[in-house]
A = this chain, B = another copy of it.
């Protein structure tokens, strides 16, 4: 496909749909709807995500390839958070006629490159005109009904496990947005790692196999940390009608993060930054211990579920004062 500076308007709506079919699974596109099979005994899992230009992405920090990659990860991560493995996605794309065809190709390439790691494809979608680029993704997965991970299943006494580092994505965004604000010298490799965490996040399907290895009779609550670790903790506690105590010192933070920023700043990014796409899981302490061991050094038990209704943040080093987690810092549009 040689685009030579062509724009969407040059192809028209039907032309663009024809072109985009090349990025979709061969056997599902071309009818009014796509037909796909689930494995016997599994339930369908569905999640939706909207991305709007200027709100969720901008050319300044995100290439169209990365818009696609991140959109795919955000949706796949929601499936992983339910204990589900992916079947496919649909893509609704509305955009102005002046958008370069290269932009469109790169978006779909980013989506497909991420999906390919999980043997997953684009099953179809819709394309239409809009004054602002909007990407609407639906992801489909399947899960055995007794392996669904839901938010409302945490019980007092459960250990709370996070599956990896938090704060990296927000730090990577900071390095992209305000590179001159950071006066410290630090290795180029740290910069690249943090920016990659923001631009090419990874959904944690690898967790699921470990998880079912450590629990005979699975009773696991959880969600992903896409809206921030703090948000995930509050959502799980609200849905399960429980409280939690979190040790700030136990939250896995990349050492480079505390070096480049202050430790306090790194902690803020870890709690409120979002888009780390790790899983936050609540399960019986003995299962939690085994799981952390299987997941390796970046995973950690960060606290436990309590009978209360608040999420308390404590500092086992007694430097930060004890506090109740508030979501006032959370980011809301409108």
Q: Which residues of B contact A49 (CB under 8 A)?
A: 92, 126
Q: Which of A36-44, A192-200, A250-258, A288-296 lies at the interface with chain B?
A: A36-44
Q: How far is the CB of A19 from chain B (nearest CB, A)?
A: 12
Residues of A within 8 A of B (CB): 8-9, 11-14, 16, 30-38, 40, 43-50, 52, 54-56, 77-79, 81-82, 84, 87, 90-94, 97, 123-132, 134, 136, 138-141, 143, 145, 148, 150-152, 223-224, 239, 330, 332-334
Q: Which residues of B contact A81 (CB under 8 A)?
A: 31-33
In angstroms, Cα B44 to Cα A90, docked, is 13
Which of B16, B33, B92 touches A334 (beta carbons < 8 Å)? B16
The 6 closest A-B pairs by CB, nearest first: A136-B136, A129-B333, A33-B47, A32-B78, A32-B81, A97-B334
B332 touches A12 (CB 8 A): yes
- Oligomeric state, in copies: 2
Q: Which residues of B contact A151 (CB under 8 A)?
A: 30-32
B223 touches A31 (CB 8 A): yes
- With A36-B46, A136-B50, A150-B31 as known contacts, state yes or no: A129 contacts B334, CB within 8 Å: yes
